[in-house]
């Protein structure tokens, strides 16, 4: 266990160079894309050159690139993410991200729940009843899930479950806001303040977006679990378990599942990272004010500091989720020790 803690601390320290690298690459990429945030400030018209000059000076865009980068880092280490230039000129970026990020996190949580609670059992059942009708249906379903575009699925879900059978609200907008906002993740806030309406509303409003967002990952996880399950079922210790007198279910769920989850965990961890960063289309279709839309806007309008801050957040969460996966590994597989 001590080794594990040391490992976690080591990984957290490693986070710093990784984040710096991410920042540097983002910075270089952003500045190599043609476009100038100041150009978007005049609305439909053009700003007079004096105004542009002044703005460029205010934001330090006339400095050499490396100086701009180090100035940015200096601000960053003082906890100052700066202000948005063109997306929401003058707005504090920390505020923007702190408002937007919890929604994406909550969406990701729901998608991950669907991915895990549906994907793993589906993969297991599919492997257990190999080549049966269930298996074939699951496999075709997974194939469809992998190949379906997110926005199309979103619109279809809206039409089917929002219009034809009005069970779920078609948009996230209109969600009941909790009186107590501690985390900004409404589900958790609802539990903290024991406000059941918030909890129910959160579940109802996130249902469709979570399905739309999670369908791809769900399919990937299902396929992954199925194939690793099939592999594990051929192992000797499964025969041993059967020879002991374990029933089919006990063999699969007690002996095979945990082993087959070891490779699946990697995929799940990566998928969660992908869900966090890839929710733009879902957020657009379901009108969720999440981080994906914020960053897309920022990229479209060359809002350098906002892009940097958004990428920073996603990178950190991505790294942390992978750290969680690595720790989970150690739990799932006693052969791995840090």
Partner 1 sequence: MTVNVLLSIRNLKTHFFTEEGVVQALDGVDLEVYEKEIIGLVGETGSGKSVTALSVMRLIPQPGFIVDGEIFFKGKPLHLLSEEQMLRIRGKEITMIFQDPMNALNPVFTVGNQIAETILLHNDVTYKEAFNQSIELLRKLNIPKPERIVNSYPHELSGGMRQRIQIAIGLACQPALLIADEPTTALDATIEVQVLELIKKLRDEFNTSIMLITHDLGVIAEMCDRVVVMYAGNIVEKTDVKTIFKQPLHPYTQALLEAIPYAEKKKKSRLTTIPGTVPNLINPPSGCRFHPRCKHAMKVCKTLKPMLLEEQPGHFVSCFLYSKNKEAAESKGGVFEPLPDRIIY
Partner 2 sequence: MRKSVKYSLALIIVLSLAAGGLILLSPSRAQAGETTLKIAQAGDPITLDPYDSWDSASNDIIVNIYDTLVMYVPSTLNFRPGLAVGWQILPNTTIIFNIRRNVTFHNGDPMTPYDVWWSLQRVLPDAKRSALFNSTYINNATANPHGYQWAELVDRESWVWLLYENIKDIRMADIGFWGNTTYTGDNATAGDGWAEIVVEFDAPFAPGLSLFSYAATSIVNWRVATELGPTGMKFAPVGAGTGPFAFNSWILNYKVVLDKWPNYWGQVAHVDHVEYQTILSASSRTLAITTGLVDLLYPEASDWYTLKDDPNIETWQEAGLGTRYIGFQCMQNVTGRMFGILSDSTVRKALSYAINYDEIINGEQFLNGLGTRLTQPVVPAIEWAYNSSIKPENEGGILPYYNLTKANETLNSLGLLDVDGDGIRDIKGWASNSTDDFTLIYGYNIGNALRERVGYLLQDAFAQIGVKLIVQGDPWDVFLYTNLAAGVYDLWFLGWGPDYIDPDTYFYPLFHSSFGAVYDNDTGEYTWGTNAAGVNISTVDYLLDAARSETNQTLRAEMYMNATNILINEYVWGWCYIPDNTYAWRTTISGFTHSPLLQFDDLEYVVKTAGAGAGVPIEIIGIVIGVIVAVAVISGIAYWRKGSAA
Q: In the complex, which residues of this chain contact partner 1 (CB under 8 A)?
A: 235-237, 239-248, 255, 258-259, 332-335
Residue 259 interacting with partner 2 (CB under 8 A): no
Site for partner 2 in 12-41 (CB under 8 A): 41
Question: Rounded distance, CA 256 to CA 172, Å?
Answer: 39
CB of 227 to partner 2, least distance (A): 24
Residue 194 interacting with partner 2 (CB under 8 A): yes
Neighbours of 26 (CB within 10 A): 18
Q: Which is nearer to partner 1, 324 or 333 (CB)?
A: 333
Residue 60 interacting with partner 2 (CB under 8 A): no
Residue 284 interacting with partner 2 (CB under 8 A): yes
- Residue showing tokens 């579940």: 203
Q: Which entry of partner 2, partner 1, none binds 333, CB below 5 to 8 A by partner kind?
A: partner 1
Q: Which is nearer to partner 2, 139 or 176 (CB)?
A: 176
Structure tokens at 303: 């809002």
Q: Which entry of partner 1, partner 2, none binds 41, CB below 5 to 8 A by partner kind?
A: partner 2
Q: Which entry of partner 1, partner 2, none binds 43, CB below 5 to 8 A by partner kind?
A: partner 2
Selected binder of partner 2 within 25, 144, 160, 173 (CB under 8 A): 173
Question: Rounded distance, CA 62 to CA 239, Å?
Answer: 70
Neighbours of 334 (CB within 10 A): 7
Q: Which is nearer to partner 1, 111 or 259 (CB)?
A: 259
Selected binder of partner 2 within 4, 8, 15, 47 (CB under 8 A): 47
The residue range among 105-113, 120-128, 139-147, 250-258 that interacts with partner 2, by the rule CB under 8 A, is: 250-258
Q: Which is nearer to partner 1, 176 or 242 (CB)?
A: 242
Structure tokens at 159: 């039409």
The C-alpha angle with vertex 95 and arms to 93 and 96, in degrees rounded to 5, equals: 65
Q: Which entry of partner 1, partner 2, none binds 132, CB below 5 to 8 A by partner kind?
A: none
Question: Rounded distance, CA 176 to CA 255, Å?
Answer: 44
Q: Which entry of partner 2, partner 1, none binds 259, CB below 5 to 8 A by partner kind?
A: partner 1
DSSP 263-330: HHHHHHHHHHHHHHHS-HHHHHHTT---HHHHHHHHHHTT-HHHHHHHHHHHHHHHHHHHHHHHHHHH
Handedness of CA 190, 194, 198, 201 (dihedral sign): positive
DSSP 11-68: HHHHHHHHHHHHHHHHHHHHHHSS--GGGGTTTTS---HHHHHHHHHHTTTTS-HHHH
Residue 234 interacting with partner 2 (CB under 8 A): no
Q: Which entry of partner 2, partner 1, none binds 34, CB below 5 to 8 A by partner kind?
A: none
Residue 253 interacting with partner 2 (CB under 8 A): yes
C-alpha distances out from residue 314 to 186, 188, 272, Å: 20, 21, 11
Selected binder of partner 2 within 37, 145, 290, 305 (CB under 8 A): 290
Environment class of 250 (CB within 10 Å of its CB; exposed 0-12, middle 13-18, buried 19+): middle
Q: Do residues 113 and 196 lie in contact, with contact meaning Cβ atoms separated by under 8 Å?
A: no
Q: Which is nearer to partner 1, 202 or 259 (CB)?
A: 259
Q: Which entry of partner 1, partner 2, none binds 236, CB below 5 to 8 A by partner kind?
A: partner 1
Largest CA distance in the chain: 84
Residues at the contact surface with partner 2, assessed by CB under 8 A: 41-48, 51, 54-55, 88-91, 96, 99-100, 151, 155, 158-159, 162-163, 166-171, 173-174, 176, 179, 194-197, 200-201, 203-204, 246-247, 250, 253-254, 284-287, 289-290, 293-294, 297
């Amino acid at each position: 266990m001590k080794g594990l803690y040391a490992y976690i601390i080591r990984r957290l320290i490693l986070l710093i160079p990784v984040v710096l690298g991410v920042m540097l690459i983002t910075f270089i990429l952003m500045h190599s894309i043609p476009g100038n945030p100041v150009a978007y400030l005049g609305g439909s018209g053009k700003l007079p050159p004096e105004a542009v000059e002044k703005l460029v000076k205010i934001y330090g865009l006339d400095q050499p690139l490396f100086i701009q980068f180090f100035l940015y880092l200096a601000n960053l280490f003082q906890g100052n993410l700066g202000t948005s230039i063109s997306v929401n000129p003058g707005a504090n970026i920390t505020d923007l991200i702190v408002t937007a990020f919890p929604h994406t996190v909550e969406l990701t949580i729901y998608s991950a729940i669907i991915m895990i609670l549906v994907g793993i059992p589906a993969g297991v059942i599919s492997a257990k009843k190999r080549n049966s009708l269930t298996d074939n249906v699951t496999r075709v379903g997974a194939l469809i899930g992998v190949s379906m575009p997110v926005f199309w699925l979103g619109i279809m879900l809206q039409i089917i479950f929002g219009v034809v059978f009005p069970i779920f609200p078609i948009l996230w907008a209109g969600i009941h806001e909790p009186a107590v906002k501690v985390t900004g993740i409404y589900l958790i806030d609802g539990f903290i303040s024991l406000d059941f309406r918030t909890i129910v509303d959160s579940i109802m409003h996130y249902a469709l977006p979570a399905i739309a967002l999670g369908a791809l990952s769900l399919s990937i996880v299902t396929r992954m679990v199925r194939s690793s399950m099939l592999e594990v079922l051929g192992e000797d210790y499964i025969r041993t378990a059967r020879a002991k007198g374990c029933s089919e279910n006990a063999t699969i769920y007690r002996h095979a599942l945990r082993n087959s989850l070891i490779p699946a965990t990697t995929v799940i961890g990566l998928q969660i990272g992908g869900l966090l960063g890839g929710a733009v289309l879902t957020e657009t279709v379901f009108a969720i004010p999440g981080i994906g839309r914020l960053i897309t806007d920022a990229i479209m309008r060359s809002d350098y500091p906002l892009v940097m801050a958004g990428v920073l957040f996603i990178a950190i969460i991505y790294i942390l989720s992978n750290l969680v996966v690595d720790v989970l590994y150690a739990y799932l597989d006693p052969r791995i020790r840090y």
